[in-house]
Amino acid sequence: MNALDIGIILLFIAYSVYSGLRNREAASRGLEDYFLAGRSLPGWKAGLSMAATQFAADTPLLVTGIIAVSGIFALWQMWIYALAFLLMGFVLASHWRRANVITDAELTEIRYGGGRALALRGFKAVYFGTIFNCVVLAWVFFAASRIAEPFLFWNAWLPAWLFGPFVSLVQAVGLNLSSAAAGTDLAIILSANNLISVLAILLVTTFYSATGGLRSVVDTDVVQIFIMFGATLIFAVIVFMKAGGVSGIHAGLKSIYAAGALGRAPPWPAARRRPSAPGPRSG
């Protein structure tokens, strides 16, 4: 990373901490202010926050993998999120608001009475609060470690006395958080680096979420999505130019698939046999 990358990261961390401290008084007024921002969020902020949440660390890896294996057409699988969020926003949100609840567990208690509602709330608490959330956090942190690995070299930045305990912890637990082969010296160093990166992300996120509540979460989400959109646009332009434009990308894809890469049959020979009629979509 260069000075610009480090500067952007430090500025965002500083803003996150500031947002948590700025909103802590409002968030401490009650449960509604903490969990729902006092029901005062404008629609554009809530929408951008939801979009930023879907653009988590695992999303670029998932989308890239789907396109690489099945083609860009396979992204139809993502339409479910657009439909679900539109349904929630324009159909269900008003009913949820009238119910005057904070969590879906409260809604369950209102909708279903008696002991069955209690059992359902208990199941939802265990399943969503523990199993589901832990699995989601695991794959998000796993993706974050893969993204951080080529950029955050804590072993080169931290003194040996501070970096050493993380290396010892990784060795003692037998933890491999890296893309390198398990048991190698490189895997140990990279795993220690990734462990520090994940802990740093967790520390900053926990701080502004715990102090500022939903207001701070949404504020940081809005900043994140503008950074992501801007950086993605710049990156796309650079890749497009480096690849030689449309013709260069097309030629590169031909050379990849002609070699039978990614386990797919090359679609071009069939298309060449009938140049006047386009063949079936391959992905």
Model confidence at 6, in pLDDT bands (50, 70, 90)?
confident
- pLDDT given at position 116: 75
- pLDDT given at position 260: 58
Contact 93, 43 (CB under 8 A): no
Model confidence at 195, in pLDDT bands (50, 70, 90)?
very high
Q: State the average pLDDT over residues 72-101.
A: 83
Give a yes or no: residue 279 inside a domain.
no
- pLDDT given at position 275: 42
Residue type, 246: V
The residue segments making up the domain with residue 16 are: 3-268
Contact 281, 73 (CB under 8 A): yes
- pLDDT given at position 211: 95
CA distance 148 to 132: 24
- pLDDT given at position 29: 92
- pLDDT given at position 259: 59
Digit-coded pLDDT (tens) for 246-279: 888 888 878 877 755 554 544 444 444 444 434 4
CA distance 166 to 152: 15
Give a yes or no: residue 275 inside a domain.
no
Digit-coded pLDDT (tens) for 100-157: 888 877 887 777 777 777 888 888 888 888 888 888 888 888 888 888 899 889 999 9
Give a yes or no: residue 135 inside a domain.
yes
Residue with the larger pLDDT of the pair 165 and 109: 165
Give a yes or no: residue 276 inside a domain.
no
Model confidence at 23, in pLDDT bands (50, 70, 90)?
very high
Model confidence at 162, in pLDDT bands (50, 70, 90)?
very high
- Kindly report the pTM of this predicted structure: 0.77
Contact 232, 63 (CB under 8 A): no
- pLDDT given at position 190: 93
Q: State the average pLDDT over residues 78-106.
A: 82
Give a yes or no: residue 10 inside a domain.
yes
Give a yes or no: residue 138 inside a domain.
yes
- pLDDT given at position 279: 41
Give a yes or no: residue 283 inside a domain.
no
**Percent with pLDDT over 70 in the chain:** 91
Number of domains the chain is built from: 1
Q: Supply the mean pLDDT for the chain.
A: 84
CA distance 220 to 46: 12
Give a yes or no: residue 140 inside a domain.
yes
CA distance 198 to 209: 16
- pLDDT given at position 51: 85
Check pLDDT > 80 for residue 189.
yes
Measured in whole angstroms, the distance separating CA 269 from the mean position of its chain's CA atoms is 39
Q: State the average pLDDT over residues 38-60.
A: 85
Contact 152, 193 (CB under 8 A): yes
Q: State the average pLDDT over residues 73-101.
A: 83
